[in-house]
Amino acid sequence: MPFPKIIKLVLRSAVSKPATRLYPARQRENILNTRGAIQNRIDQCIFCGICAQKCPADALKVSRPDKQWSIDRFRCVVCGACVWACPKKCLDMMPDYTSPATQKSVDHYNRKPDPE
């Protein structure tokens, strides 16, 4: 690269905005339809198990008698098949990603027994 072109590039870069963003201070907004963490509104769930059947990674477990729904976040491939298959639409795909983890954990959601 000839010397005059380098000088021109340096001067242009010196007066323009930086190409990068100050990450911790200014985070990027998620784009539309970003697939992030799966959230369950357990009070609306009927524990039918369709979401667990549609999950290609077998990350969901549903127990109808115990009224328990669990997700293994390490197995989930965030495809959204469970969200589309849910008949009650109690599953949502949140735009935020799950936080990094160093140990395997399974999230359990239990519904409180109905008062009789």
Name the band, by pLDDT with cuts 50, 70 and 90, for residue 94: confident
Distance from C-alpha of 80 to C-alpha of 114, rounded to nearest angstrom:
30
* Cα 115 versus chain centre, distance: 33
Q: What pLDDT band is residue 99 in, cutting at 50, 70 and 90?
A: confident
Euclidean distance between CA atoms 70 and 52, whole angstroms = 10
95: its two tokens: 């735009």
- Is the pTM higher than 0.85? no
Rounded to the nearest integer, the mean pLDDT of the chain is 87
Query: pLDDT tens digits for 21-79?
Result: 787 788 778 777 778 889 999 999 999 999 999 999 999 999 999 999 999 988 999 89
Question: Token match 């100050």: residue?
Answer: 22
| DSSP result, 47-63 | ---HHHHH-TT--EEEE
Structure tokens at 70: 């669990």
pLDDT greater than 90 at residue 102: no
- 115 band by pLDDT with thresholds 50, 70 and 90: low
- Is residue 1 scored above 90 in pLDDT? no
What pLDDT does 114 receive? 64
How far apart (Å, rounded) are the C-alpha atoms in residues 61 and 64? 10
What does the pLDDT read at residue 55? 95
